Amino acid sequence: MKPMPSLPMRAIIRCKVKQQMLADVDVTEMCMPVDEPLLKDLTNSLFGSSYYLQRFSNARSQDEIETISNEMATEVLMTYRQIMMNATDPMIQKLNDLLSD
């Protein structure tokens, strides 16, 4: 009997995201230093989403788990990158200033 594939740990997903960040110079410049709490929140949110929970539970092999993990890491990176871009957008900064007053 073949053992069930094991799920990746959240820390492994975050490590994959950081590896992807370092592989792309543009992303590295924009996203460094890494906002660890934000990265952790994004990873936890996606990891706990019904979409990924179902995909992981339906996975039949460790290779399939690895593929899903890589897709999740890419999605976390894209979301993180968008948040970082928005944080430097002058319009977003003005809106944030209005909200904090």
- Whether 4 is covered by a domain: the verdict is no
The count of residues in the chain is 101
User: How many domains are there within the chain?
Assistant: 1
pLDDT for the residue numbered 93 = 81
- Whether 36 is covered by a domain: the verdict is yes
- Whether 59 is covered by a domain: the verdict is yes
Domain that residue 87 falls in? 10-100
pLDDT for the residue numbered 4 = 58
pLDDT for the residue numbered 92 = 78
- Whether 38 is covered by a domain: the verdict is yes
- Whether 5 is covered by a domain: the verdict is no
Q: How far apart, in whole angstroms, are the C-alpha atoms of residue 56 and residue 3?
A: 15
- Whether 40 is covered by a domain: the verdict is yes
- Whether 3 is covered by a domain: the verdict is no
Q: How far apart, in whole angstroms, are the C-alpha atoms of residue 34 and residue 19?
A: 12
- Rounded to the nearest 5 degrees, what angle is found at the Cα of 59, between the Cα atoms of 17 and 9? 35
Q: Is the pTM of this model over 0.75?
A: yes
pLDDT for the residue numbered 72 = 95
- Whether 94 is covered by a domain: the verdict is yes
- From first to last of the 101 residues of the chain, give the pLDDT tens digit: 555 566 678 888 999 999 888 888 777 777 778 889 999 999 999 988 999 999 989 999 999 999 999 999 999 999 999 998 888 888 878 887 888 87
